[in-house]
Amino acid sequence: MAAHALALALVLLPSAAQAQLLPPTLPTLDGLPRPSAPPPEKGPVVPARVERWRQEAKALEFGEGMPRDPVRAAELYCRAARHGDAESQYSLAWMMTNSRGIERNEAEAAHLFAAAAEQGYVQASNILARMGQPLGAPPLCLRPPEEDRAVAAAVAPAPPARPTVAGQAAMQRPSPPPLPRHAPEALVRYVQLAAPEYQLEPHLVLAFIATESNFDAAALSPKNAQGLMQLIPDTAARFGVRNAMDPVQNVRGGMAYLRWLLAYYEGDVVLAAAAYNAGEGAVDRYRGVPPYAETRQYVWKIVQAAGGLMRHGFDAKVTKPSDKMPLMNRPWHVR
């Protein structure tokens, strides 16, 4: 009877009186703010800075030692997530999934959970198993940061121009770096002889060997990557390596894979290095260097060890280029 009486009153009373009888409006999740993506950084970002962003974000999210500010927390998590911080990727995804002071966005959260899971973050893997694999392009918080242009400039300064016969300026390739002091002389000579067979610069191959195994032919990683160029069994089989612990077979298999990656990414050393570390599937999915801290550090270590080489010749007959090349986010790339 009370409900019928209220309905009758709402019909008969003017609108002002109706408002006094209605219960107060409850807040909805639709009204929560949506944080904006942070602007690009002005220079290279070191891991300690990424950790500070995460720690400040956590304090702002939970109001520990400072007023709670979920929007600012989300922006800082986003900043760290772009640089591959798995915990920040997970925390931002959790905020998006549970509307913790910011707008719910399960589509972007799935991408963030996936990035954290791919780096071994167990909690993210468990949640992703229930959500399913993400669809569509990765969100801005997982795009390669624009400051990669500054990182590239820091590890590979622009080479000087030299005049051509016609008097026009032409860019020189970076000079090969000095050989690593601890590189075995026999291995260096072998790479110098064999690399041209694979249309590779010897100093690029040596950069991969130095970074992957530090010239240890018996190196074995926790993920069962083996030998000088750290071939996993699937990659070894893919390129005809029967014994990955044999130094000659290992180096030839690694060079074959590197030649293939350079063709697949049209000579982009940064993308090829990222794929060597994380797989070409991850590079294609994220349309650039994947948002993994290890991979981001690995890429620029390779470029630096190779004397700043970021563009390399490639044989287009080896394989078709990735169909994601037109979509790649490459802030380091100069057209």
**pTM for this predicted structure:** 0.82
When mean pLDDT is compared across 164-168, 177-181, 234-238, 272-276, the lowest value belongs to 164-168
Contact yes or no for 60/69 (Cβ under 8 A): yes
Give pLDDT, residue 319. 97
Average pLDDT over residues 109-122: 96
What pLDDT digit, counting tens, does each position of 199-216 carry?
A: 999 999 999 999 999 999
Domains 30-142 and 148-157+169-327 share a fold: no
Give pLDDT, residue 21. 47
Give pLDDT, residue 40. 77
- Give dist(CA 149, CA 326) in Å, integer: 18
Average pLDDT over residues 214-227: 94
What pLDDT digit, counting tens, does each position of 40-96 carry?
A: 777 778 899 999 999 999 999 999 999 999 999 999 999 999 999 999 999 999 999
Average pLDDT over residues 239-258: 97
> Catalytic: which of 61, 201, 212, 280?
212
Domain ranges of the chain: 30-142, 148-157+169-327
Q: Which of 134, 205, 214 minimizes the C-alpha distance to 181?
A: 214
Pairing of strands 161-163, 169-171: antiparallel
- What would the DSSP string read from start to end of 162-231? EE-TTS-EEEPPPPPPPPPTTS-HHHHHHHHHHGGGGT--HHHHHHHHHHHHTT-TT-B-TT--BTTTTB
Residue 129 amino acid letter: A
> Class for domain 148-157+169-327, per CATH?
mainly alpha
Match domain 30-142 to its CATH number in 1.25.40.10, 3.40.50.720, 3.40.50.300, 3.40.30.10: 1.25.40.10
pLDDT higher than threshold 70 for residue 324: yes
pLDDT higher than threshold 70 for residue 17: no
- Give dist(CA 29, CA 98) in Å, integer: 10
How many CB atoms neighbour CB 1 within 10 A? 5
User: Is 212 annotated as catalytic?
Assistant: yes
